[in-house]
Amino acid sequence: HFTQPQVIEQLAYCLMAIGAVMFFLSFLGYCGAIRESQCLLTTYGLFLLVILILEVTACGLAAAYKDRAKVETKNYLQTTISKYYSSHDRNQSDAVTLMWNYLMSEMHCCGVDDYRDFALSDKWNESKGNRIIPEACCMQTALFEPLDRSCPYSPSDSNSYYKQGCYNALIDWIMYNRNLVIIVAIGVGLVQLLAIFLAFCLCKSIEKYRGMRL
């Protein structure tokens, strides 16, 4: 299990790995341009091309298998609750519990479909006491601080979001922001295409310049 500081540490490692890849690509492009190296520039362009192809392939597969992806995503989310969700303590909980607590608190939802998903979690059943829902499912004054202290033990529509599933909340959020997501994705793709085009154009120019010098 991961505590909250360990979750942050793992995220930091992921960001460091992404940063290392970006640094490597930038290094290839910069050194290739400064040293007028066709080898470095070609490698840089090919790396960007592979990344772009992988991105387009991933988007295509997601669109082609949209319904299946939805089912698999929902099943995966339900599995994370049934196998891993436990205590509500944000300082002692594992990574999955922390993720769910923050998600439910921010998205104003409870479980995948509703609060009944937690009944499938052995860890939750062992640690819940008399609670019916986690504090994160309640309307809050602060993070994990229920507006109504009785909410975890006696949830209702007026003091919690216990009937509102997070799966539908996530879908609604994605649909609401889909235009922004599409614009960003297209923008990133165009920048990558431009970088690939310029890299190979520079390679061609270097080759032509060297040919003229000969």
DSSP H or E segment with residue 43: helix 38-64
CATH among 3.30.9.10, 1.10.150.530, 1.10.540.10, 1.10.1450.10 for 71-176: 1.10.1450.10
Q: What is the DSSP string of 56-73?
A: HHHHHHHHHTHHHHHHHH
What pLDDT score was predicted for residue 174? Answer: 87
Q: How far apart are CA 38 and CA 120, in angstroms?
A: 59
Helices 95-107 & 4-34 angle (0-180, nearest 10): 90
Choice among 3-17, 108-122, 180-194 with the minimum mean pLDDT = 3-17
Residue type, 163: K
The 10s digit of each residue's pLDDT in 20-39 is: 988 998 988 889 888 888 88
Listed by start position, the domains of the chain span 1-64+177-214, 71-176
The 10s digit of each residue's pLDDT in 185-194 is: 899 999 999 9
Beta pairing partners, 146 = 140
Burial class (CB in 10 A: 0-12, 13-18, 19+), 132: middle
CB neighbours of 161 closer than 8 A, spacing ≥ 6?
104, 108, 109, 110, 137, 138, 139
Residue 7: pLDDT over 70: no
The 10s digit of each residue's pLDDT in 115-129 is: 999 999 998 998 888
| Contact between residue 36 and residue 208 where contact means Cβ atoms under 8 Å apart | no
What is the rounded average pLDDT for all residues in the chain?
87
